[in-house]
Structure formats: C-alpha cells, structure tokens
C-alpha cells in the first residue's frame, strides 16, 4: 500500500487527475476510517495562510494540525467554538488531527448545542474533485460567503465528494470564565428533564451532559464573570429540585470535565464496541434502556448517546425503528463490514447521495464505499 503526500494543491489535483484506481483519502489518520488501497494524505498541505483576529477568521491548508491552529488562536484569546473531539484515545490511533479532517467529518463537541456544528463555522473551502479540478466555494471572511453553499455539503462528506485543500473558518473569543453545575441524578429520565430544563432557560447553556455511572448531570455556562455568576446562581435554584447541586468555578475546575465528555475518555480503555447515537433528547431514556449497554454517556442534553456494548453487538437491531441514527465508531473490521458504519439511508435520500457522489466523483475514486459500507 503506497501513501502519496502532495505538498501543493496543484500537485494534489495532478495526482487525482491521473489516478486509475480508488484512493483512500486521509488527513492525520486519527479516525481510522480510510478504506483499503493506496492512500493520499493531506498532511503535506499545512500551514495557516490567513488569520485576521479582528474579522474572527482563520484560513488554513487542510493538513494543518488542529493543535497548531488552536495555539495561534489562543495567542489572540480566541478559539474554535465548536470544540472538535480528539478521537485518538478512543480509537487507539496516532498522528495529529488535521483541520481538513475535522471539517470533512463535521467533528463537533459538547458546545454544539449552543453555537452549532463545525459546518456552521465553515466560511469557505478549496478542494479537488474526483476529476482533478480545483474548486473554490464560499469566502475567506464572514462578509464574503458567496455562490452555492458547497461548504455545508463538503462538511460531513468524509472525503467522498472531494479532497479539501484549504478551509476558512469563523472563530470566536474565549470566554472570561466558565462554571459547571454538577447535579446528582440517579435516573436517566430525570437527568434528561434536568438538562432540558436548563437548556430551555434564558441562561445560555454551553454544555449539558450526563454520566449514569457517576450519576452526575453537568451544566456549563461561559462568559463574563459577573454574567456567569448570575446565571449559575439562578440555574442552581432552577435545578435543585432534580437533585443536589454543586458548582465548579473557573476553567481549571470546569474544563477537564468537558474534555472528558468531548473525547469520551471513560470509554478509552474499556473493551467492546463503541456506537454514537443521535436521537431526540426526549427519546433518549427509552432508547438507552433498549441498548442494554455496558456503559453510556449522554451529551447535547440527551441528543447524543455514546454506548459501549460487547464486541459484535448489532445495536441497531436492539434499538429497532427510531427517529435518529446509530453509527459505529469503534469495532473490528468484521463487525463494520457486517453491520455497516452508518445508519442505512431511506431510499430517496440514498438515491440523492449516490447522485451527488456520481456528480462530484464520476470515476468513484475518492474514499469509495466509505459512506456505503453496509
């Protein structure tokens, strides 16, 4: 298996134009999703090409490590607000997460409930399609997003519609402080109600998670110190009917909890398969009971469930029909081949997806079969 590492966008386009067999497109290789075959990595396309703190905009080549971008943003007291997950601990992979990989998979963390997903911060992209054409869509600054919104289409396509070469992102200031309220809740239904109550309040919640093992619901607020103190006080009054409430003030006390939620840290060394289930929060308690999982973690107020189950478990069969989708995140190759990574699409949607791939990649070169692995 060969690995090609172009160092310019033109070289990337030349490789794709001259390809005669399917290629596995990867960034830093941290998510372990690339199909078999020769690999083409974007890590040679690296570096921040534009950063305008005043315009809340950063532009970087697709292979730029996320850590490099976060360091540059931190120097100006800014951040990637969508809080991208680091999959390495969960999947046992190495390498460095790249910004192109984050956008291609629409990787979004706990703060999604408040500020949106990665795709909501993508202002513009450059990519090479399956014919070797260089395509630009969107803009480099917030006021210059023009043309068809291929940006949103490419975010989440996992390299099947084109190979990202550059991305432009909106960034946000870091908050002055943060506080996490920890609510002691033994019952999943009560925990979801507590999180829904917090999210339905006017207090601008930026994180709502629940760990059944510790029996703790976590509610995060961020911003200027007086505002955070005010909101935390009123949230404590609002939530104390659900269980005992304690308060962790400041990033030093609060942030590590959210890194644990973001990266599903408690699952890292546990044996078994890991699934990611997106559901309506109100459905989460009943669906989680059907899973018969060895361990669960709820994020997004119950809208995202992480489930640890015995190796080879068909979790979709246990769930039956439901309004949402269940995705395999960690399993052996036999289980992935047998069950498929992604929830099967309804017929009309599958037809649209196949048509898009045929249009963007008519020769079927880019990450062939990744989205169709059934």
pLDDT-derived band of residue 77, with 50, 70 and 90 as boundaries?
very high
Name which residue leads in pLDDT, 94 or 172.
172
The reply to whether 265-339 shares the fold of 177-262 is yes
Buried b / exposed e along 284-309 (16+ C-beta atoms within 10 A): bbebbeebebebbbbbbbbbbbbbbb
Question: Which DSSP string corresponds to 247-269?
Answer: EEESHHHHHHHHHHHHTTGGGTT
pLDDT at residue number 141? 54
- Top-tier CATH class for 3-173: alpha beta
Rounded CA-CA distance 276/205 in Å is 22
pLDDT 10s digits, 267-292 = 999 999 999 999 999 999 999 999 99
Q: Which residues pair with 244 in a beta bridge?
A: none
Q: Which CATH number fits domain 265-339: 3.30.70, 3.30.40, 1.10.600, 3.30.160?
A: 3.30.70
The reply to whether CATH 2.40.160.10 applies to domain 177-262 is: no
User: In the chain, where are the structural domains located?
Assistant: 3-173, 177-262, 265-339
pLDDT at residue number 145? 47
- pTM of the full structure: 0.93
């Amino acid at each position: 298996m060969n690995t090609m590492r172009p160092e310019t966008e033109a070289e990337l386009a030349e490789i794709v134009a001259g390809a005669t067999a399917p290629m596995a497109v990867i960034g830093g290789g941290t998510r372990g999703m690339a199909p078999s075959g020769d690999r083409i990595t974007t890590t040679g396309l690296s570096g921040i090409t534009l950063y305008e703190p005043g315009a809340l905009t950063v532009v970087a080549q697709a292979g730029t490590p996320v850590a490099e971008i976060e360091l540059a943003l931190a120097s100006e007291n800014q951040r990637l607000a969508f809080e991208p997950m680091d999959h390495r601990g969960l999947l046992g992979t190495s390498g460095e997460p790249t910004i192109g990989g984050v956008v291609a998979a629409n990787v979004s963390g706990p703060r999604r409930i408040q500020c949106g997903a990665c795709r909501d911060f993508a202002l513009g992209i450059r990519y090479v399609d399956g014919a070797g054409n260089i395509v630009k869509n969107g803009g480099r600054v917030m006021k210059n997003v023009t043309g068809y919104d291929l940006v949103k289409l490419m975010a989440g396509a996992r390299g099947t519609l084109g190979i990202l070469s550059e991305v432009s992102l909106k960034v946000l200031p870091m908050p002055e402080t943060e506080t996490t309220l920890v609510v002691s809740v033994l019952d999943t239904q009560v925990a979801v109600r507590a999180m829904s109550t917090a999210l339905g309040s006017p207090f601008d919640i930026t994180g709502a998670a629940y760990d059944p093992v510790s029996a703790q619901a976590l509610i995060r607020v961020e911003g200027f110190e007086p505002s955070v103190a005010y909101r935390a006080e009123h949230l404590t009054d609002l939530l104390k009917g659900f269980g005992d409430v304690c308060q962790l003030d400041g990033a030093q006390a609060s942030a590590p909890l959210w890194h644990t939620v973001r990266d599903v840290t408690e699952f890292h060394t546990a044996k078994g398969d890991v699934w990611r289930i997106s559901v309506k929060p109100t459905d989460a308690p009943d669906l989680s009971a059907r899973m018969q999982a060895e361990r669960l973690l709820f994020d997004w107020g119950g809208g995202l469930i992480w489930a640890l189950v015995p190796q080879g478990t068909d979790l979709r069969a246990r769930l039956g029909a439901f309004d949402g989708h269940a995705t395999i995140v960690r399993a052996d190759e036999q289980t992935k081949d047998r069950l498929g990574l992604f929830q099967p699409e309804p017929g009309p949607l599958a037809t649209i997806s196949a048509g898009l791939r045929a249009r963007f990649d008519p020769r079927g070169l880019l990450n062939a079969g990744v989205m169709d692995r059934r």
